[in-house]
Amino acid sequence: MKKIVSPILVVLIICAVCMTAFAADIPSKYSAVDKGYVTCVKDQGDFGACGAFAAVSCLESDYIMQGYGTKDNTDFSEAFLHWYAVNSAWADEKSDYYGDGVLFSGSVYNQGVVDSDLVSALKTDSGIAFERDFPYSAYTASKMGSYSDAQRFASGCNVRIKDIVELDISDRTDVQSWILKHGSAAVTFNGTRFYTGTNGTVANNPLALVNNHEVAIVGWDDDFIAQGAFSSLVMRNKGAWLCKNSWGEEWGDDGYFWLPYSDPTINSIMGISVTVNNECTDKYSYNGYAIYTSSKPVKGANLFTADQSGSIAKVAFYTAPDTDIKIGVYSDKGNSVPDSGKMLASYSGHYDDEGYYTVKLANPAAIKKGDSFYVVAEYSTGCPFEISEYTSSGAKQSYILVNDKWTDVNDTRDANNVPVDAIIVGVHSYGPNQHKDPTCTTVGYDMKVCEHCGKVVRTDIPAKGHSFSEWTRADSFRGGITAYTRECSVCGEKERQFRDSNGNIISLKEAEEIVSSNSFFSGIYTNIISGFRTSAQLFTDFYKTVMMRLVYFFATILPF
C-alpha cells in the first residue's frame, strides 16, 4: 500500500534536518581569542566603566572580523563611549535628538551604565573613537575628557553602528552563532565571587544575586567543568562561556575567566556589529534614548526633510523579539497621513531577537534637498517608541496609528518618538580644516569633517616623544631594591625604574616579588613601589588587600 505523508510532517522533518545541520555547524568548543579576533585585555582601574569595556571589545572584534584591522592595531576608546553613555543628552537645540537623554553632573567615570545607556549612545552615532585620540586612564579621571556634541561626529573615527542585538539568553546557539560571526558579545552578571580551580578561574554564583558587572564573551566550552577542591559546589553542570574581563592581564587567567552556562545571575547578552562610513551616509532619526514596545498601536511613522540630494538607501529600526516588520518610504502629501503619498521604497523581514537593525533597501529612492518623506513601519508585535522622563518629541516628527487614525505623538501623553530611521546616501561636503598639535605621547592631525555624515579625512602628525632627564635615585626598599625616576621636561610625565642589589634593571613585577616576599600584605606593594598612588588610594588598596586575603582564606574552606 502506498503511504501518504502529511504536509505538516514533511515540514517538521525538514525543520528537524535544518536544525540538526545548524547545530552541527556550531563546535562544542571555540575561542575567538585563538582565532585572533580579540584585542588585548585592558584595565578599567578605579572606575565603573565595565559596560564600556565590554561593548568596545565587541566593536573591536567585529571590526577585526570584517577585515578592517587586526588585534594588534585595533583600539577604540572606552573613555569616549562611557562619557556619552552617561551623558546621553544633546545640548544642541537644533539636533533632532534634543530633549532626549540625561546630562550627568557628578563624577562621570565613577558612574556605572546599563545596556540601554550604551545602546542610546551607539545608535545615535556617538561614542566610537580611537583610543589614541581619547585615551582611558585607569586611575586618574582628570586625564580623560569632558566631551562635546561636536566631538560625537568629529571624533576622527569613521566607524558607525550597524546592528545592536539583545540575544536570547535562553538559547545558547543564538549566542554562539553570533560570536562565530562577530567575535564577541557583552554579558551582564554578578561579578562579586570567583573560584580559582586547577583548570581556570570560574565565576562562582550559585545564588541569583543582582548583576553588577559586564564583560565580553569570546568563546565557550560545552564540556568545561571546574576542577579542584570543592569545585562541585561551584559548578555542578558542564559548559561555560570564555569571558574577557577588564581588570588587567594579571587578574584571573591572563585576564580571562569562565562563566558557567548555568550561572543564575546572567541577565542579558548583547551583540554589536559595525560598519565603516566611506559613503556619505546621513542618518535621519529622532529617537535618542530608552525604547519600549507597546502591543498597541502596531504602526508608527517618522516625517523627515532631506537636507541634501541623494538616495534613501537604508532604513534602521528597533524591534521586539520574534517580530515581522514591514517598512514603506512614502512621499509627503502634506496632509499628516504618513502612508497616503506615493510609495518610494519598501522592505520586509522577520527578526528573532530584540534590537536595533540597519538594512539596505533593494530599491533605493531618489530624494532632492528640501523634500519631505515618511518612513512607515508596521510591527507584528506592536510599535516601539520612547517612553521615559528623559525623552521628548516635537510636532510633526513621529506618528502612530490609533483607532485607524494617524496621530501626532506630540498630541498624546502615551508616547514620544518612534524608532524608525532613514539613511540618505549623498555627496560629502567637508568643512574647514581642523588642526591639533601633537604631544609627547599623542598624535596630532589635520582633519576635515563632512557636515552631512561626519566622515573624517585625516592626516596624522606623529607624536613628538618624551624628552626625559637623567635617572635619579628616588627610594630604597628591602631586598636591595632601588627605585630611580626621571621626568619629561615638556609634559612632566614621570617614569620609574627598578634595580636589584647588583644594579641590574628589573621589572616592577620582579621588584614586587623581591620586596614583598613572604608578606601577608604583599598585594599592596605593587602600588607602593610604583610610586604614583595617593595616600587615599593606598589606604583603599590596603583595605581591599586585607579583605581579599580574608575572603580567600574563608573561600578555601567554604568556597560556596
Q: What is the pLDDT of residue 476?
A: 87
Strands 494-499 and 505-506: antiparallel
Which stretches does DSSP call E strand in 296-371?
299-305, 310-319, 323-331, 343-351, 354-367
Average pLDDT over residues 526-530: 51
Residue 341 has pLDDT above 70, yes or no: yes
The 10s digit of each residue's pLDDT in 454-489 is 889 999 999 999 999 999 998 888 888 999 999 999
Q: Which of 96-110, 177-191, 241-255, 297-311 is the least confident region?
A: 96-110
Q: What is the pLDDT of residue 292?
A: 86
Q: What is the pLDDT of residue 528?
A: 53
Q: Is 515 helix (H, G, I), strand (E, B) or coil?
A: helix
**Confidence band for 145, pLDDT divided at 50, 70 and 90:** confident
Q: What is the mean pLDDT of the chain?
A: 87
Does residue 246 contact residue 42 with C-beta atoms inside 8 Å? yes
For 408, residues 6+ apart whose C-beta sits below 8 A from its C-beta are: 336, 395, 396, 397, 398, 399
Q: Greater confidence, 414 or 232?
A: 232
Residue 548 has pLDDT above 50, yes or no: no
Average pLDDT over residues 262-266: 94
Q: Greater confidence, 202 or 534?
A: 202
**Confidence band for 556, pLDDT divided at 50, 70 and 90:** very low
For 221, residues 6+ apart whose C-beta sits below 8 A from its C-beta are: 28, 29, 239, 240, 242, 258
Average pLDDT over residues 144-167: 89
**Residue showing cell 598639535:** 437
Q: What is the pLDDT of residue 11?
A: 37
CA angle 272, 274, 275 (to 5 degrees): 165
Residue 384 has pLDDT above 70, yes or no: yes
Q: Which of 21-30, 408-417, 438-447, 542-551 is the least confident region?
A: 542-551
Structure-block grid coordinates of residue 12: 517538521
**Confidence band for 389, pLDDT divided at 50, 70 and 90:** confident
In percent, how much of the chain has pLDDT > 70? 88
Query: Does the reported pTM lie above 0.75?
Result: yes
Q: What is the pLDDT of residue 290?
A: 84
Domains and CATH numbers, the chain: 14-272 (3.90.70.10), 280-426 (2.60.120.820), 472-557 (3.30.890)
Average pLDDT over residues 108-116: 90
Query: How many CB atoms within 10 Å of residue 476?
Result: 10
Residue 402 is inside which H or E element, if any? Answer: strand 398-402
**Confidence band for 557, pLDDT divided at 50, 70 and 90:** very low
Average pLDDT over residues 95-116: 88
Residue 125 has pLDDT above 50, yes or no: yes
The 10s digit of each residue's pLDDT in 171-204 is 999 999 999 999 999 999 999 999 999 999 999 9
Nearest of 451, 418, 419 to residue 434 by alpha carbon: 451
Nearest of 34, 54, 122 to residue 83 by alpha carbon: 122
Structure-block grid coordinates of residue 410: 506630540
